[in-house]
Amino acid sequence: MSDSAPPIPFLATVGLACERDRRLLFDQLELHLQPGDMLQVAGPNGSGKTSLLRLLAGLMPPTEGSVLLAGKPLAAQRTELARSLLWIGHAAGIKGLLSAEENLAWLGALNRCGSTSREAIWTALAEVGLRGFEDVPCHTLSAGQQRRVALARLYLAPPPLWILDEPFTALDKAGVAQVEIHLARHCEQGGMVVFTTHHSLTEKARNFRELDLGLRAA
């Protein structure tokens, strides 16, 4: 990377502060995200990890400061953000009454991203180890399997920026390892991943960073 005139970061925060129920979770948060970056947001429970992720995804207005997408405020960049963002929250938007295939087809269409063809969805489901569960209603799947359905979206030619809240919850060891490798590979190919987890990663991208909100508050 050249040291003169740094490029405009893809996603940045300027003096970001977040207050919930009159408690200041964090303030003056400066964050830069470039293609290839992998950012793990860490910290104890209640330190504002999910809030930070929701701020970055534009789901919540910041108390102070702003989030910039390609140098412009997020509020003015809704379509740009939608085009480049894949958001999987703690609740992943999976409908228990629908099958894994129906869920993925709808979410794919909603996000205008990737392929929503039957073959692509079946391949993605096979990737996350759900071969044979394509047309089973999701509420009959285990918590880990439901999480896998949500994570199958990561295999459907998704947009560059992934914001994932606790993606490893309820996954077994093999599942965690596989998703870690997939996240790292996405970053190596120029994607960006911001995520929270309490796991310590074994597979990291080259530009891996950790932001500990607990340390900042101390």
Query: In terms of CB distance, is 139 or 198 closer to another protein?
Result: 139
What is the DSSP pairing of strand 85-88 with strand 37-42? unpaired
- Contact between 160 and another protein by CB under 8 A: the answer reads no
CA distance readout (Å), 41 to 45, 92, 137, 169: 12, 18, 33, 15
- Contact between 157 and another protein by CB under 8 A: the answer reads no
Query: In terms of CB distance, is 51 or 197 closer to another protein?
Result: 51
Q: For the range 196-200, what are the long-range contacts, defined as Cβ-Cβ under 8 Å and sequence gap of 24 or more?
A: 196/40, 196/41, 196/42, 196/49, 196/50, 196/53, 196/164, 196/165, 196/166, 197/40, 197/42, 197/166, 197/167, 197/168, 198/42, 199/168
Query: In terms of CB distance, is 38 or 92 closer to another protein?
Result: 92
**In this structure, what token pair is assigned to residue 26?**
């964090």
- Contact between 198 and another protein by CB under 8 A: the answer reads no
Stretch touching another protein by CB under 8 A, among 37-45, 63-71, 81-89, 180-188? 81-89
- Contact between 184 and another protein by CB under 8 A: the answer reads no
Question: What single letter denotes the amino acid at residue 74?
Answer: L
Shortest separation between residue 194's beta carbon and another protein, angstroms: 14
Question: What single letter denotes the amino acid at residue 216?
Answer: R
- Contact between 59 and another protein by CB under 8 A: the answer reads yes
- Contact between 213 and another protein by CB under 8 A: the answer reads no
| First CA to last CA distance, the chain | 33
Shortest separation between residue 181's beta carbon and another protein, angstroms: 25
2, 4, 45, 79: which one binds another protein (CB under 8 A): 79
* Contact in structure between 130 and 122 (CB atoms under 8 Å): no
Shortest separation between residue 173's beta carbon and another protein, angstroms: 25
The interface mask with another protein, positions 93-132, x = CB under 8 A, is xxxxxx---x---xx-xxxx--------------------
33, 41, 74, 92: which one binds another protein (CB under 8 A): 92
Contacts of 125 (CB under 8 A, 6+ apart): 100, 101, 104, 131, 133, 134, 149, 152
* Contact in structure between 214 and 44 (CB atoms under 8 Å): yes
Site residues (vs another protein, CB under 8 A): 57-61, 78-79, 81-83, 85, 87, 89-98, 102, 106-107, 109-112, 137
